[in-house]
Structure 1
Amino acid sequence: MLSSVATSRSNSTRVRCAALLSVASSFVLLLTVAQLRELARLHRRPSSPSSRDERDDGPGSWEGRGNSSSSTSTSSVVAGPARGLATVPEEEEGDAHARRRRHHYMELSMSKSDARCLGIVEPEYVSSTLDFWPIGTEAWGNASVINADLRDPSLRAALGGLRPSFLRVGGSQADEIVYRMGDDDDDDDDEGDVANECRRRPQKCLTGKRWDDVMDFARDAGARVVLTIAYVRRTRVDGDDGGGGDNDARDWDPTNARELLERTRSNADHARAGTVYGFELGNELRHKGKIKNVTRIVEAYRELGRMVDEIWGRPNVTGGGGGGDRPPRPKILGPASTGGGETSFLVSEIGPYIDVATYHKYHGGGKDPDMHAYARSTSFYNHPAKLSGPGEAVERYVGRRASEDNVDDGERAASRLWVGEGAMAYNSGLPGVSDSFRGSLWFANLLGAMAKTKPLPHGVYCRQSLLGGHYELVSHESMVPNPDYWVAYLWKNLVGLKAVGPIISPGRKDSVELSSRITFGCCERPGKDTVLIHSFCAKSDDDGDVVFVVINISESRGINLNITMGGNRTVYRLQPNAGEGMRSQRVLLNGRPMSIGSDASLPAVHELGVTLARSDLTHVPPISIAFVVVHGANVEECLPSAR
């Protein structure tokens, strides 16, 4: 049985979050009648995101503001709803214009010795996918595994910017792909079922040459491939007219899959490098009753494992992939299900034959008419708290397997949990949302949450998709990165592998309890809080450095953070392009446009940070994501000795 990756399994405690104390009455006594009228007028005023006097300063205008305690309000109210909860600081009582522009104020800290690990992720935590989706659809164009330009310098640079990562190659159409792995891929005289299918449906044919191209693309960009092998195509019996048929008519035929495996192993360079990390079998097999016979699925996974063992050699007792000069053995992943009860059920059945448990997670439908409104609601950001079910299923299974004495040495037990495919919305995403900065606020919060799910953190999140759909990280039309790419890029450069907490906020009595949950800041007033915070060991943690990921989803109020720990801090603020708001597809980092250069170079992130002294306040504008690296924090969980 392969050894498991270290995970944090601290007990979670359900608490009822306290409501914010009302402070309005104490201020009414201090206000004059004229001031009350002015406040009433401001309350009636519509909060248009485009109104400059109703919102905070735009991108690039934060320099020098809110960076000293002398210029900041003394209010003790912390991050809450964007409007109507902030107190009126004494020095602003007679200044209506200042009241319109006031910021929230919040103190943050963390105990050096009492902070604990809330979850550990893998170095490839932020990963991506390529899809076999049909050629020619508007949202995909030339984005399929079959026809994407894998030699495009910008695309190669984009994937390389996420190294190390996994590139999951699959999707709904993966179950329909045939593999033509011979040396004469383009021989028109070749006969046989596979050759005939490839001539009839070239968009669903993976040739040996194209498979080599995919492996080259991944290896050159520091990624390893997880390939979804076709299941349904090899269990279906077509109807008499060549269409329809029964998806579940026979046992899985592994013949074509074996040809793929043998071709993969015969590529000596990629075999030695371990370019192919592993294989899945089928995509969402139980979704909408596509496959009902679970016994066949289990036996097919078992057969896939046998073939991999035969071609690469069985794993050794410590879970390694090979021995001596033998190349590393690819892992078996699955069930690639749609989550929830299906994941729990399938893991319990195929668990002995997989190394990593994978499932797919979307948070809405791209064709849902209510999705636009839902994505604008602050309650949408609470959704990640619901992601622990598959982890519970895996932990139950691993615990049961560990207690059994009759485990065959050749059997594996999944003890790692991935989202093998995930995005904001299925059905190719939601134009103007999942490909805009609004989606980036959600994505940053999700990455923070996935690392802390109980009882098992998600070690890897494969974002659907690198290319294709309205959720793509890189535009398949222009090869220009969308906003979510830059969230992933900064995460890779700045955030370490260990989530730590609790975050302590003296003005917030329940901060210790809240920050040990999925998202600090999301639960005091469910669906209302507009500042969400996650804390991790920084990627460069020699001095126990910590990074706070601060997501301000308010369109009108900034926040001033007083971080009372460590020494200097370096701040990286992502904002939409000036004047474009939530729908922007262009991103600024500390006021500078983010883009891939004409020479396919990526921005040097560490040269773009802004250094602040400990005594300075850290300003986080509306509609922004700030990565705040606190140097010299000396948090014990983040010191080299705790790795």
Structure 2
Amino acid sequence: MGLKQLVLEFGFWVLFISSIFTNNLVVSSNVDKIQEVITRGNILVDGKNVIGTTDPNFVCATLDWWPHDQCDYGNCSWDQSSLLNLDLNNKILMNAVKAFSPLKLRLGGTLQDRLIYETELQQHCIPFIKNNSNLLGYNQGCLPLSRWDQLNTFFNKSGAVVMFGLNVLNGRFVMRNGSVVGSWNSTNAKSFIEYSLRKGYKIHGWELGNELTGTGTAIRIEADQYASDVISFHNIIQKVYKNEKVKPLILAPGGFFNPIWFKEFIHKTTSTNIDVVSHHIYNLGPGSDMNLAEKILNPSLFDHEVVNTFRGMRSVINNSAQVWVGEGGGIYRSGRNQVSNTFLFSFWYLDQLGLSSSYDTKTYCRQTLIGGNYGLLNTTTFKPNPDYYSALLWHRLMGNKVLSTNFSGSNKIRAYAHCSKQSQGGITLLLINMDKMNRVEAKLNAVNGSITCRHNGKMTNVREEYRLTAKNGNLQSQSVLLNGKELIVDDEDNIPPMEPVTVNAEQPITIAPLSILFAHIPYLCLRACS
């Protein structure tokens, strides 16, 4: 991870330094016809201590409300991906969600605070219509109950786990300076929640508001008022679900981290009124930035502002609630075409999953499943973009216990280790090589708790490797290779199988330049994973 302080905390820094072995060789690369450097390094994993835990279903994705005419920097990237008109009969979409078994879906986004719901009290229902003179650029839109029924049929068939973001601006007035005055009118939201319960719709969580916290947006609600809204919301949920043994989670505020604002918010809500404190991540900047590729491949950028956000959230929340990234898209204003929908973006995305889980983030919701230029699925064809396969491999391989991990030998390698979902006691490594020339050969060492173990009842001396590379070496390709074979849906729109290659344990772990490696290591059992 590059987080040396974690190594210090576990007291094996001296061992780490003494075990470094670096030896650079130069060979010729047949693909790129450039000089490729072989760097030898060391992966060190603490086998005794767990530094974080995630939800077993850590990976999450979002679905948004943006209409087809939402355009950013002259690029209109949303097409028919809105929750109001997304083709729910598309087989790739269904199979893409089913493959996770289950996939968490967070329904929301900017326009959720301009959305009302058709109920017996609200029968006039019109879609969003673009109007730049209106709040957030659109008139007030409406979700017809017939569409809500269709969505829940899809969720039920696909096995999705659903979080729904509610409108917290209803009944309020937004001042010219962006401050919000007036009380939240919860009547429409309460009727919608009651309808959902009567229909038997399984909502895992209800979230209140979107990006209305202290900084980062044009509209804001003060922390004490937001806390009061959450307490009122909690009382509504308790009343509506009073006869239910399992009640849905309460999530808020879904905004950008500001330590002063969040500290006051948490102090005044208390853990009895909120289950999940959600925040958003767009650390790479706007989609108009011409230097996004360089930023993504510069790991030093990830170790400052983003680390401070994850560390700050953990410190402020202090176990009083779960911490989720409710929306992580990296590049705000809909992402950037040929960047956030290509193999290049997996370097940022998988590092986000690794880094956030190291700071005890329980769930990470990627913006988006489909829609904009940062969808896991192509907005028009529905075919998976490279990040879809990255997310699916993480979901299948990385367990919920996070281990302290460090790599020596190159500062362009990001290294993470979790207890494995594939074997009891074993681990799964994630190695991300952001270097354009260095092929890394690494030895794996574990301290503080390595034990002899068996995989499927037998001793084993092989590991399973999943190597992700860009098609034709083009980082901005929307196709990805797994162990040299392109991943594509078949003629029946099924998600392809993702099979590993087996490698003898005595061989060093090798990761090519500008590639990603998941390695399931069943022969290394750690006490932290037993």
SS at match of 1:500: strand
- 1:201-600 aligned at under 5 Å gives the runs 204-236=141-173, 248-268=180-200, 270=201, 275-286=202-213, 287=215, 288=217, 290-313=219-242, 322-323=244-245, 328-341=246-259, 342-352=261-271, 353-365=273-285, 366-383=287-304, 384-386=306-308, 387-395=310-318, 414-453=320-359, 457-501=360-404, 503=405, 515=406, 520=407, 529-542=411-424, 544-563=425-444, 567-580=461-474, 582-600=475-493
CA distance in 2, matches of 1:381, 1:249: 37
Corresponding residue SS for 2:417 = strand
Cα deviation for residue 294 of structure 1 reads: 4.1
Structure-2-length-normalised TM-score: 0.83
> What whole-Å deviation, never above 9, does each CA across 1:476-535 have from its counterpart, x for those lacking one?
11101111111101111111111123x4xxxxxxxxxxx3xxxx45xx9xxx71111111
What residue identity is the alignment partner of 1:449? Answer: L
Higher strand share: 2
Q: In the alignment, which of 614, 618, 629 is matched to residue 520 of structure 2?
A: 629
Report if the CA contact (8 A) 2:170-2:186 is conserved: no
User: Does the CA-based 8 Å contact 1:77-1:104 persist in structure 2?
Assistant: no
1-structure distance, mates of 2:36, 2:204? 52
For residue 103 of structure 1, give the secondary structure of its aligned residue in structure 2: strand
Cα offset, 1:11, TM superposition = 11
Query: CA, structure 1 residues 209+568, in 2 after alignment: closer, same or farther (shift >3 Å)?
Result: same
Question: Given that residues 464 and 520 in structure 2 are in contact (C-alpha distance below 8 angstroms), is that contact kept between their aligned partners in structure 1?
Answer: yes
Relative distance call for 1:156 and 1:196 in structure 2 (3 A) is: closer
Change (3 A) 1:295 1:344: closer
Partner AA of 1:435 in structure 2: N
Q: Distance in 1 between matches of 2:512 and 2:7?
A: 35
Structure 1 residues 12 and 458: alpha-carbon distance in aligned structure 2, compared to 1, 3 A threshold: farther
Report the CA distance between 1:208 and its aligned residue.
1.0
Structure 1 residue runs of 5 or longer lacking an equivalent are 1-9, 22-74, 79-85, 183-191, 239-243, 315-321, 399-413, 504-514
How much has 1:561 moved relative to structure 2?
2.6
| Deviation by residue 1:247-271 (Cα, 9 ceiling, x = unmatched) | 7332111111111111111113x2x
User: Is residue 553–residue 624 contact of structure 1 (8 Å, CA) maintained in 2?
Assistant: yes
Count the aligned residue pairs.
485
Unaligned runs of 5+ in 2: 1-5, 71-75, 130-137, 447-459
Q: Secondary structure at the match of 1:151?
A: coil
- For 2:396 and 2:328, the matched residues in 1 are separated by 22
Partner of 2:60 in structure 1? 127
Compare CA radii of gyration and give the structure with the larger one.
1
* Structure 2 residue 114 is matched with structure 1 residue 181: no
Matched letter for residue 61 of structure 2: S
CA RMSD of aligned residues (A): 3.2
**Change in CA separation of 1:253 and 1:422 when aligned onto 2, cut-off 3 Å:** same
What amino acid is aligned across from residue 495 of structure 2 in structure 1?
Answer: L
Matched residue of 1:175: which SS?
helix
Confirm or deny that 1:602 pairs with 2:495.
Answer: yes
Q: Write the deviation string for residues 41-87 of structure 1: whole angstroms up to 9, x where unpaired.
A: xxxxxxxxxxxxxxxxxxxxxxxxxxxxxxxxxx9754xxxxxxx53
Gap change, CA 1:246 and 1:289, over 3 Å in 2 = closer
Q: After superposition, what is the alpha-carbon deviation per residue over 1:534-593, rounded to whole angstroms, capped at 9, x for unaligned?
A: 111111222x2111111111122211233467721111101000242x211110000111
- CA distance 1:465–1:545, change in 2 (3 Å): same
In the alignment, structure 1 residue 145 sits paired with structure 2 residue 75 = no
User: CA contact under 8 A between 2:224 and 2:264: conserved in structure 1?
Assistant: no
Match of 1:33 in 2: none
Give the CA deviation at 1:380. 3.1
Tell me the distance in 1 between the aligned counterparts of 2:445 and 2:371: 44
1:614 aligns with 2:498: no
Amino acid at match of 1:424: G
Contact 2:45 2:403 in 1 (8 A): no
* Separation of aligned partners in 2, 1:577 and 1:281: 41
Separation (CA, whole Å) in 2 of partners of 1:465 and 1:147:
16
1:391-412 CA-to-partner distances (Å, cap 9, x unmatched) read 11100xx5xxxxxxxxxxxxxx
Cα shift readout 1:347-366 (whole Å, capped 9, x = no counterpart)? 22333421111111111222
Q: Contact 1:422/1:464 (CA < 8 Å) preserved in 2? A: yes
Q: 1:598 to 1:382 in 2, by over 3 A?
A: farther
Report Cα offsets for 1:74-101 as digits up to 9, x if no partner.
x9754xxxxxxx5359xx9xxxx99934
Amino acid corresponding to residue 106 of structure 1 in structure 2:
G
Look up the equivalent residue of 2:209 and give its one-letter code: G
- TM-score, with length taken from structure 1: 0.69
Structure 1 CA distance for aligned equivalents of residues 128 and 77 of structure 2: 25
Secondary structure of the residue aligned to 1:583 is coil
How far did 1:164 drift?
Answer: 2.4
Q: Find 2:51's aligned residue among 106, 118, 134.
A: 118
Helix, strand or coil at the partner of 2:82: coil
- What is the CA-CA distance between 1:221 and the residue it aligns to? 2.2
Higher mean displacement: 293-302 or 595-604: 293-302
For residues 237 and 336 of structure 1, what CA distance do their matches in structure 2 show?
19
2: CA distance, partners of 1:302 / 1:224 = 24
Q: Distance in 2 between the 1:118 and 1:178 partners?
A: 42
Match of 2:40 among 86, 105, 113: 105
Alpha-carbon distance between aligned partners in 2 of 1:98 and 1:132, rounded to the nearest angstrom: 46
Are the structure 2 counterparts of residues 202 and 151 from structure 1 closer, same or farther at C-alpha, using a change threshold of 3 Å?
farther
Structure 2 CA distance for aligned equivalents of residues 559 and 466 of structure 1: 33
CA displacement at 1:276 relative to structure 2: 0.4
Change (3 A) 1:476 1:578: same
Going from structure 1 to structure 2, the CA distance change for 1:174 and 1:571 (only over 3 Å counts) comes to: same
Contact 2:398-2:419 within 8 A present in 1 as well: yes
- What CA distance in whole angstroms lies between the structure 1 residues aligned with 2:103 and 2:252? 18
Distance 1:99 1:434 in 2: 27
Shift of 1:466: 0.4
- Distance in 1 between the 2:300 and 2:222 partners? 38
